[in-house]
């Protein structure tokens, strides 16, 4: 029996691109990125400069992070339990 492919929590194909960088508000050279929190992985729009520097804004604490992670789960077509399982599978044992 073959193992199922692991979920790609960083997949961004279904994630929307905002009109500005969520860190510096720039409007050019934008792309969707992902960020990992203790709650899970979420998507956001960053300009190339912020993405290169790893400049990710605070997702507004735990409630904001949880909301953004839930939204990203929707983009991936999974639920929070599936994300938690995928994150757990990535952790070294």
Q: Where are the domains of the chain?
A: 30-87
Q: What is the DSSP letter of 25?
A: -
pTM, 2 dp: 0.90
pLDDT of residue 4: 64
What is the rounded CA–CA span in Å between residue 77 and residue 12?
12
pLDDT value of residue 3: 57
- What are the tens digits of pLDDT across the range 13-56? 999 999 999 999 999 999 999 999 999 999 999 999 999 999 99
Nearest to 40 by CA among 72, 76, 7: 72
């Amino acid at each position: 029996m073959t193992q199922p492919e692991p979920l790609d929590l960083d997949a961004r194909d279904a994630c929307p691109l905002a009109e500005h960088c969520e860190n510096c508000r720039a409007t050019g050279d934008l792309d969707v990125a992902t960020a990992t929190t203790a709650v899970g992985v979420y998507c956001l729009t960053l300009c190339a400069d912020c993405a290169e520097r790893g400049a990710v804004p605070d997702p507004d604490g735990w409630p904001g992070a949880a909301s953004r992670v839930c939204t990203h789960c929707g983009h991936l077509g999974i639920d929070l339990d599936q994300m938690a399982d995928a994150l757990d599978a990535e952790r070294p044992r």
